[in-house]
Structure 1
Amino acid sequence: MKRALAALALPLMLAACTEAPAGEPVTRVSLDGTAIADGPSPSPTPSQAVGPSACKRVTFEDVPLTHCIADPAQHRIAMANLGADRQPFASLSAFAASVDPATIAFAMNGGMFGDDLMAIGYYVENGERLAELNRADGDGNFYMKPNGVFFGSGAKWQVLGSNTFFKTVGDRPRFGTQSGPLLVVDGKLHPDIQDNGPSRAVRNGVGVDASGKAHFVISDAPVSFGQIARYFRDEVKVSNALYLDGQVSSLWDPAAGRMDKGRVGPIIVVTKIEGAKPE
């Protein structure tokens, strides 16, 4: 998916990050694909309840976000793209229909893809590399260097720039997805991201903090690249954060009854470790 970053900078407006009131952030559908009317997300009924949510709603610079945390002590991470019929799931609702929701902490679209819904860069699922690292030049967000890879095995997860990944990672991870650009590079904003360019979209990204927790952030309203990048730098405080995508950005949070509608390719799946107790 190719979309250009905006080049026009507007005045930077910083505001404190605060808990946001509950409210419907984006269009949602139920697991059977039927639309759910706008309004606050419903609380799960006892038959639907799958434990506490790993996600919370916050407001940053007047923009509502949802911030989900994967904890290595409680979760494992995997990728999903193709169903049993070897065709792309194409939506989170289709993926949800293939798994037991009680095992899922949350799932989110996980990297840029082509018209065939397959990853356009490095992609590893269950230890099998299905697409090679893409270090080519081109137009659009994916090719804005440095781009990067979110990857890991077991309880260790990382975000690295694609060149650093190529030079330093020898063993194939259990999962991996390439996207771009990096929003935060070694603690600093990507040099080509404007403070507050005019481009606004529902966007999402991921970063891993010093304790090893993976932070997934999706905007619940249109946001600039600069705003979501600053959230990762200033609030999440990660060294590297990777842009996952925009416009199609989607989240499935079973505990909150949230199922976003969107055409997706690779999916990042955060599963619960059986018997692990939430902090």
Structure 2
Amino acid sequence: MISGPTGSCETVRFDGTRYTVCGFDPTTHDIRLFHRDDNGTGFADFAALETFLDSEGLQLSFAMNAGMYHADRDPVGLYVEQGIERSPVNQNEGPGNFHLLPNGVFYLVGSAAGILETQAYLTSGIEPDFATQSGPMLIIDGELHPRFLQDGTSRKIRNGVGIAADGRTIVFALSEDRVNFYDFARLFRDRFGAKNALYLDGSISRLYIRDLERSDPGRAMGPIVGVVATKPAP
């Protein structure tokens, strides 16, 4: 396990499946969402985001793909960055995991984070600093998504986010082995006590962990969630 000012990451084995899990407290960590730079160019990968942050006097500590996106890498659903809504909430029905309702929203407001089912988010009146909509929800008020099957045959590398039992710590997880939705959701509920957790994506799932010198390659990404810190003086 890596522990320190950038939070903590560890390898967890749960019901025979390996996961990399990272936890961050938003009261002590600078957690943001990223999609495009100041010129409107999508970051698409961790290296481009690193370069951008370096020019801002910052460094990337942790990052993960953070929600589903179209072919042009624009978000499928709600996306808010620095308090500005870049993409609206998507309440449409349709195919694919995003529309396996209910889906939900991961959001950051000041030094607090939360995850809500989309309709609950809309009625909450929350005005987030950052938010990304994805789907399906993994855990809803302590219960697994009603459409998940224990013997589900769709097994993929998957990543998601939940709020731990303490109600504060943000738990990001990526499966290192292929896993179905049911077992992935149980990781958040039964291992970390999450009352709410959200699926971010599968197959394209990627991690960046500076302390482990890990930067996963893969297809171009849309939204990215990252933990940043002030770059140390030379």
TM-score norm. by structure 1 comes to 0.76
Q: What are the ranges of 5 or more consecutive residues in structure 1 without an aligned counterpart?
A: 1-18, 20-42, 44-49
Q: Larger Rg: 1 or 2?
A: 1
Alpha-carbon distance in structure 2 between the residues aligned to 1:77 and 1:127: 14
Equivalent residue, structure 2, for 1:267: 224
Letter in 2 for 1:63: T
Equivalent residue, structure 2, for 1:119: 75
Equivalent residue, structure 2, for 1:144: 100
Letter in 2 for 1:64: R
Question: Runs of 4+ in structure 1 displaced over 6 angstroms?
Answer: none
Equivalent residue, structure 1, for 2:47: 93
User: Is 1:62–2:19 an aligned residue pair?
Assistant: no
Equivalent residue, structure 1, for 2:143: 188
User: Is 1:129–2:81 an aligned residue pair?
Assistant: no
- Percent identity between matched residues is 37
Q: CA deviation at 1:225?
A: 1.1
Secondary structure, aligned partner of 1:85: coil
Letter in 1 for 2:223: P
Letter in 1 for 2:77: G
Letter in 2 for 1:163: Q
Structure 1 residues 83 and 196: CA distance shift in structure 2, 3 A: farther
Q: CA deviation at 1:271?
A: 2.4
Letter in 2 for 1:118: D
**Kept after mapping to 1: 8 A contact 2:7/2:25:** no
Equivalent residue, structure 2, for 1:167: 123
Alpha-carbon distance in structure 1 between the residues aligned to 2:6 and 2:104: 31
Equivalent residue, structure 2, for 1:256: 212
Alpha-carbon distance in structure 2 between the residues aligned to 1:157 and 1:52: 17
TM-score norm. by structure 2 comes to 0.90
Equivalent residue, structure 1, for 2:31: 77
Structure 1 residues 51 and 156: CA distance shift in structure 2, 3 A: closer
Q: CA deviation at 1:171?
A: 4.1
Please, what is the CA RMSD of the aligned residues? 2.2
Alpha-carbon distance in structure 2 between the residues aligned to 1:228 and 1:125: 28
Letter in 2 for 1:211: G
User: Is 1:154–2:115 an aligned residue pair?
Assistant: no
Equivalent residue, structure 2, for 1:29: none
Q: CA deviation at 1:54?
A: 2.3
Structure ranking higher in strand proportion = 2
Letter in 2 for 1:220: E
